[in-house]
C-alpha cells in the first residue's frame, strides 16, 4: 500500500511539494535558505540529467558544460548587453539545446565508456572556451551577474518582498521561487517519463537492439532526451548564475560534471525523487564534513565508496526496497 503510494508519480510530486514548502520551518537563517536554494537549482539540473542517465541509460560526464553555457550565456547577455533575465534564459536554453542537438547526433552513436569519453570531451571544450574568452567571460577569475528580473521586477537575494501579506526577505523569496521551479521541472520530467517517448526511452535502456528491432527510432529518442537534459541544465545554470551573482568557469568544469553524475547515481538512477535526494546529500555533505578539518577528503571518499558499494541502486531505491520488504514481512506475520 505504502509502496504503491510511493511509486505513484503524482503523489510523489505532492510529497515533494509538501517537503519543499514545509522545509522553511527548519531553516533558521539566510545561509540555510541559500543552501536550500542552491540544492533546489542543482536538483533541477540533476532531474534533467537523470532523464538521460537513468531512463535512457546514456552516461554523460560533461553535463556541467551545458550548465556552464547556460550560466554564462545569461550572465553575458544580462551583464554586457542589458537583456532582461527571462529572454536571456529562454534564448540561452534554445541555443544550448541546439548545440546539444548538433553534438548529440554523432556522439550518441557511441556506446558505454566511449560515450562517457565523448561527453567528457565536449564538457572540457566548453570549459576551456569559457576560461579563455576573457573579454566576454572574465576568464578564470569569473564575472559578476546582475540580479534576476522579470521584465523590470527584480528578485534579489538581498531585497525584501511580501507574498500574500507575509514579509519575506530576499533569501526566503529566492527559496520559494527555486522550489517552485524545481516542482515544475519534476512535473515536466514525470510527464515525459509517462509519455510514449518515456516508454521508448526505457526500451532503449533495456536493450537498444531490441528496441530498434521493434521499430523504435532509437537515435531520434536518444538525441531528443540529450537535448532535453541539456536544456534543463542550461535553464538551471542561468538561474544559478543570477542567484549567486558571480560565476567562475568552475560551473562548467569536469569536477562539477562528476558531482552531477554522482548525485544521480548516489540518489538512485531512474528515480526522480532519488536523484533529488542525491543532490541534497552531496550538497550538504561538504558543509557537515568541515568539522573533520583535514580528514574531510578521506571521509567524503569513504562515504561515497561505502554508499555505492552497499547501496548500488542508490539511496532512495534501496530505502524503498527495505521499507516494502519490511511491510510485506509484517503483513505476512499478521495473517
Partner 1 sequence: MLSEFLQYLFTGITIGATYALIALGFTLIYNASHVINFAQGEFLMIGGMTTVSLTGMGVPMPLAIVLAVLLAGVFGILLQRFAIAPAKQADVVTLIIITIGASIFIRGLAQLVWGKEYHVMPNFSRDEPIRIFGAVLNSQSLWVLGVGAVLVVALVLFFTRTLIGKAILATSMNKQAARLVGIRTQLVLMLAFMVSALLGSIAGVVVAPITFTSYDIGIMLGLKGFVAAAIGGLGSGVGAVVGGLLLGVVEAMTAGYVSSDYKDAVAFSMILVVLFFMPRGLFGAKVVERV
Partner 2 sequence: MLKTLLRCAGKFVAIAAAGLVMSAQAAEPIRIGSFLSVTGPASFLGDPELKTLQMYVDKINKDGGVLGRPLELVHYDDVGNASSARNFASRLIRSDQVDIIVGGSTTGATMASVPLVEQAKIPFISLAGAVVITTPVKHWVFKTPQSDRMAAERILADMKARGFTRIGLISGTGGFGSSGRTQTLEVAKNMGMEVVADETYSGSDTDMTAQLTNIRNTDGVQAILNFGFGQGPAIVTRNYAQLGIKLPFYQSHGVASDSFLKLAGKAAEGLRLPASPLLVPDSLPDSDPQKAVVQNYKSEYEARWNAKVSTFGGYAYDGLMLAVKAIEAAGTTDHEAVRKALENIHGYVGVTGEFTMGPDDHNGLDADSFRILEVQNGDWKLIN
CA distances (Å), 225 to each of 24, 118, 139, 234, in order?
34, 17, 31, 14
Q: Are 128 and 232 in contact (CB under 8 A)?
A: no
* DSSP code at position 294: G
Instruction: Decide whether 131 or 190 has the Cβ nearer to partner 2.
Output: 131
Residues 262-291 that bind partner 2 (CB under 8 A): 284, 286-288, 290-291
Give the three-class secondary structure for 58: coil
User: With CB under 8 A as the contact rule, which of the stretches 33-41, 103-111, 185-193, 232-240 interacts with partner 1?
Assistant: 103-111
Q: Are 120 and 62 in contact (CB under 8 A)?
A: yes
Site string for partner 2, 158-177 (x = CB under 8 A): x-------------------
Considering the complex, what minimum distance in angstroms separates the CB of residue 59 from partner 1?
5
- Long-range CB contact pairs, 106-110, < 8 A, 24+: 108/58, 108/219, 108/222, 108/223, 108/226, 109/219
Three-class DSSP labels, 162-225: EECCEEEEHHHHHHHHHHHHHHHHHHHHHHHHHCHHHHHHHHHHHCHHHHHHCCCCHHHHHHHH
One of 6, 17, 27, 129 touching partner 1 (CB under 8 A): 129
Task: Return d(Cα 305, Cα 307) in angstroms, integer.
Answer: 6
One of 298, 321, 322, 323 touching partner 1 (CB under 8 A): 298
302 binds partner 1 (CB under 8 A): yes
Q: Which partner in partner 2, partner 1, none is near 251 (CB below 5 to 8 A by kind)? A: partner 2
Considering the complex, what minimum distance in angstroms separates the CB of residue 63 from partner 1?
13
Task: Return d(Cα 201, Cα 217) in angstroms, integer.
Answer: 10
Are β-strands 160-163 and 143-144 bridged in parallel, bridged antiparallel, or unpaired? Answer: unpaired
One of 13, 17, 23, 109 touching partner 1 (CB under 8 A): 109
One of 80, 87, 98, 113 touching partner 1 (CB under 8 A): 113
One of 94, 102, 128, 323 touching partner 1 (CB under 8 A): 128
300 binds partner 1 (CB under 8 A): yes
Q: Are 35 and 283 in contact (CB under 8 A)?
A: yes
User: With CB under 8 A as the contact rule, which of the stretches 20-28, 161-169, 234-242, 292-300 interacts with partner 1?
Assistant: 292-300
Q: Which partner in partner 2, partner 1, none is near 246 (CB below 5 to 8 A by kind)? A: partner 2
Residues at the contact surface with partner 2, assessed by CB under 8 A? 26, 28-32, 34-35, 38, 131-132, 134, 139-142, 144, 157-158, 244-248, 250-251, 255, 284, 286-288, 290-291, 293-294, 296-297, 319, 322-323, 326
Amino acid at each position: 500500500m505504502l509502496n504503491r503510494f510511493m511509486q505513484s508519480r503524482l503523489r510523489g510530486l505532492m510529497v515533494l511539494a509538501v517537503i519543499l514548502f514545509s522545509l522553511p520551518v527548519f531553516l533558521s537563517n539566510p545561509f540555510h535558505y541559500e543552501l536550500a536554494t542552491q540544492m533546489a537549482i542543482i536538483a533541477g539540473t540533476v532531474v534533467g540529467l537523470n532523464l538521460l542517465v537513468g531512463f535512457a541509460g546514456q552516461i554523460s560526464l560533461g553535463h556541467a558544460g551545458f550548465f556552464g553555457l547556460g550560466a554564462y550565456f545569461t550572465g553575458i547577455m544580462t551583464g554586457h548587453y542589458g537583456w532582461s533575465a527571462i529572454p536571456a534564459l529562454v534564448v540561452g536554453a534554445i541555443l544550448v539545446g541546439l548545440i546539444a542537438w548538433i553534438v548529440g547526433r554523432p556522439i550518441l552513436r557511441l556506446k558505454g565508456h566511449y560515450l562517457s569519453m565523448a561527453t567528457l570531451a565536449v564538457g572540457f571544450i566548453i570549459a576551456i572556451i569559457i576560461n579563455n574568452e576573457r573579454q566576454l567571460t572574465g576568464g578564470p577569475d569569473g564575472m559578476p551577474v546582475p540580479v534576476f528580473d522579470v521584465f523590470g521586477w527584480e528578485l534579489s537575494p538581498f531585497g525584501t518582498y511580501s507574498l500574500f501579506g507575509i514579509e519575506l526577505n530576499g533569501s526566503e523569496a529566492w527559496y520559494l521561487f527555486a522550489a517552485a521551479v524545481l516542482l515544475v521541472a519534476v512535473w515536466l520530467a514525470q510527464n515525459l517519463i509517462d509519455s510514449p517517448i518515456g516508454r521508448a526511452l526505457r526500451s532503449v535502456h533495456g536493450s537498444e537492439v531490441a528496441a530498434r528491432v521493434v521499430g523504435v527510432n532509437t537515435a531520434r529518442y536518444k538525441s531528443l532526451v540529450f537535448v532535453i537534459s541539456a536544456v534543463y541544465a542550461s535553464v538551471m545554470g542561468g538561474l544559478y548564475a543570477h542567484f549567486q551573482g558571480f560565476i567562475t568557469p568552475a560551473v562548467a568544469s569536469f569536477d562539477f560534471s562528476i558531482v552531477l553524475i554522482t548525485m544521480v547515481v548516489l540518489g538512485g538512477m531512474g528515480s526522480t525523487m532519488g536523484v533529488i535526494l542525491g543532490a541534497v546529500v552531496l550538497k550538504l555533505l561538504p558543509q557537515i564534513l568541515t568539522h573533520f578539518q583535514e580528514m574531510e577528503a578521506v571521509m567524503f571518499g569513504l562515504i561515497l565508496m561505502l554508499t555505492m558499494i552497499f547501496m548500488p541502486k542508490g539511496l532512495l531505491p534501496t530505502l524503498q526496497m527495505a521499507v516494502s520488504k519490511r511491510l510485506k514481512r509484517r503483513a505476512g506475520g499478521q495473517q
